[in-house]
Structure 1
Amino acid sequence: MEALVERLSGLDPQVDGVIRVVMFYDTLMRRRVDLPALARASAGLAECVAGIRLHSTGRVIRVAPDGANASGPPAPASTTAPVVLDEEEIGTVWLERPGPPGPLDEAVLDRLAIAAAAVFERYGPERTTMADPALVELVISPGADEAARARALRLLGFAADLPVRVAAVRSPLPLDRIGTLVCPGRPVKAAPVADVGVILATTLDAARFPAGVRAGVGAAERPDHAWREARTALRFTGTREPVVRYEDLGALALLARIPSGAARDNADVAAIARLAGNPDELNTLDAYCATGSLRQAADRLHLHHSSVARRLDQLAKTLGIDLTEPAGLTRARLALTMWRLLDD
């Protein structure tokens, strides 16, 4: 190799520099360096700040030429390059050189990007959205040791300083597809646990859940508390409201704590249960409870308001509740909600 460098440098002095850059990174890879060491070596070689960012974890490494972590806000990158692994862009590398790029900056970044991809493949977390269910269960388990929980989060690719949102999902769609939809371009993991799908994400857009998916989204900072909240919110979902955030439930969340036996024994809940065999009556009651208006319920059901009025009259007799009174409407709403919670 040295002989080849000498022969080529006689033809083009810049070729000598490029080949030496290649040899430099080949040596680093043989030494099996990690990402911080790779950034330090690159900053020393380029004599300016070098940076590495991983999209999956949001982790950013910036190192000054003296080998110390770069302080202060990042300067505009003079040169950047994508880090690509298995045809997927997993990160970015850059140099922060004052003034124009140096003659070998492109070669340095090209080799740095290749080396960063190799390091990530060797040491980094799984790149797929689907995760080991055992690790996910450890993260959301209420009885887990906090050190073990933190280690599981690291193994899943979540940085220690990033928040983790939790969603409980029931869906015919693959969990990995749902995860990438609700958390695009950021760390997200999914796994089935018992009868429910779990999604862990650094950010989670509840509006991006696709049609056909029922999901409850937790609000707490601790993953185990957020999981409990997400499971509770999932119980409140239905056809009309397939995605529920726990923070939006407010006092309604208290209904989930009522023992199922006590709920079934309640006369209003039992009356709702008897309507289960008649979808038209149940849908009419649901629409009226949701809107509190006969005409709005008729619009939602695509029926004439007189037809809805007749159904509500019959429902009032069946339930023994005056649906025209605020107290009666509140009773019907609570009974309908409690009946649905019994199914979960």
Structure 2
Amino acid sequence: GDLLVTGVDGCWQPRDAEVVLDLGNAGTATRFLAAAALLSPVPVPVTLDGNARMRERPIGELGQALERLGATIEYRGTPGFPPMRITPPRDLAMTGRVLELGTTQSSQFISALLLVAPWLPSGMTIKLSGEVTSPSYVSMTLGLLARLGASVRASDDLRVLRVGAGGREGVGKFDYAVEPDASGATYFWGAGAIREDLAVRVEGLGVHSLQGDASFPSLLERMGATVTRAAEPAWTRVSRAEELKALGADMTDMPDAAMTLAAVACFASGRSVIKGLRTLRVKETDRIAAMITELSKIGVEIGTMPGDDGAIYVEPPKGGVDCSESCPAVEFDTYDDHRMAMSLALVSLRRPNVVVKDPACVAKTYPTFWKDFARLHGAATEEHS
């Protein structure tokens, strides 16, 4: 369906003397709205809060950046974590034009700043040192802003980012067709790789997608899956005709797909090594610890790589995961994490007697996941899209 949004010309118009938002465990909303609070009229402060897990997810690096842009930041609990109160600067024209940032805990801190830059009188230049966190998401943000008419420039290594407004403040009205969520698509592409009797085609995601996770089928292809892509209309199809092989993969550009890959690796021959997972420690749960705990329940050898806390190995037991009808029941905990639930569900396509606890947590990003996933069970040599 269509969603119509009427803009406010880069200046929020709150009705109350202070805005308080409870955002649950929505990390993206919390970070993006924290930066957007710069555009709130003085003296209207914005307080962002969430559930218990959200109060454990760091936001101090973004808070420091907002302070450099002239905002006043107050933490109402643990310093560097929500709840945080943001009072915007009195004059946006005085906001700093250049921000220098080191390696950030989340690329969303960078994206949040870039998204408000077109409405700052002088735009914004961000200079990054150290490792660029999840660079594909930064590239996606820049690409989207460019499509909407903002003035965007970036160095090839993404260490210098410049967003202005092309001589005018903000961006004009636009019509934009939003792509399907590539992160949500990875579970179905993974299903096509896990089961020999499935072919899964995801429509709307093809060779020209801005999303880093749209490259996930390339990893499955390396493992032995067959991948077919089309541009117009866009779609990507995954199936399998041979045994899956282990692989080594750097997931820096698509960390949200790491749990999907780990689930697929449980049914590949050999030891897979998955790195680039540093940001998973501060997601809805510590996803590295959660994956180790849950996938070990089906006899898989899984753990962190020596000397690299952001990398894991996954190796199925000798003879493979027990997928017999008499295999013992296993209950997967999901940690109130939508992506843990959806990735662990993949195990059930090969192994019977699987229970996924708290299945409703998928509603955060994919309310109809179980309805769509149910179409895969019991399928035989059938293409699903």
TM-score normalised per structure 2: 0.19
Greater strand content: 2
TM-score normalised per structure 1: 0.21
